[in-house]
Amino acid sequence: MSTKPDELNQRIGARVRLEREGLGWSLTELAARSGVSRAMVHKVERGDCSPTATLLARLSGAFGLSMSELIARAEMREGRLLRKADQPVWTDPQSGYVRRHVSPASDMLLDLVHISLPPGAVVAMPAAAYVARRQLIWSLSGSLVFIEGDTRHVLDEGDCLELGPPADCVFRNETSDHCTYAVAVLKSA
């Protein structure tokens, strides 16, 4: 049941619109709260573009959600088992970053996400993506450079980092090999 990228973009767009309308916000208000232009928000909602990780992080942060939660709400059905073939996969068109939502949609307060970061890739995330949630980054293979505000962390295979207070962050793969890591997100109760 693997979802095609265009289909996933349509679902993400519909979910952004539902979240916005559920809060009673106009396009202009979401644009102001997220720092994303009104025209781009409109394109995302229509599914006319493939949004970048940074753009989705800004939109989800405005809603008080993580990017994982936003994509999960767009894609996943409830259930205790989520087989690999059914796990939503999203690729950032800008960096080639591949994100696979591993954990089933449920009322658990934990989400697990598997990331593959290509050689030389850089993905920036605004502080809003980290508000009201705690996260761990676990390096599974390769070497990940994670810049958290003014602090630079180098995570090698097996290393695990607990994120500090919300700050603008950058994920970098400064090597010539793919880097894979898992993100565990503890959602607010």
- In this prediction, residue 70 carries a pLDDT of 82
Burial class (CB in 10 A: 0-12, 13-18, 19+), 4: exposed
- In this prediction, residue 76 carries a pLDDT of 65
Structure-token match 């205790």, residue found: 80
- In this prediction, residue 69 carries a pLDDT of 77
**Domains with residue ranges and CATH for the chain:** 5-73 (1.10.260.40), 79-186 (2.60.120.10)
- In this prediction, residue 2 carries a pLDDT of 47
Mean pLDDT in consecutive groups of 10 residues from the start of the chain, 189 residues: 66 89 92 93 90 88 81 72 86 91 79 94 86 87 96 98 92 97 83
User: What is this structure's pTM?
Assistant: 0.72
Burial class (CB in 10 A: 0-12, 13-18, 19+), 151: exposed
Three-state SS for 75? helix
Token pair belonging to 169: 């962050």
Q: Is 2 left (phi over 0), alpha (psi -120 to 50) or beta?
A: beta
- In this prediction, residue 77 carries a pLDDT of 64
Nearest one of 48, 63, 81, 83 to 16, comparing CA atoms: 63
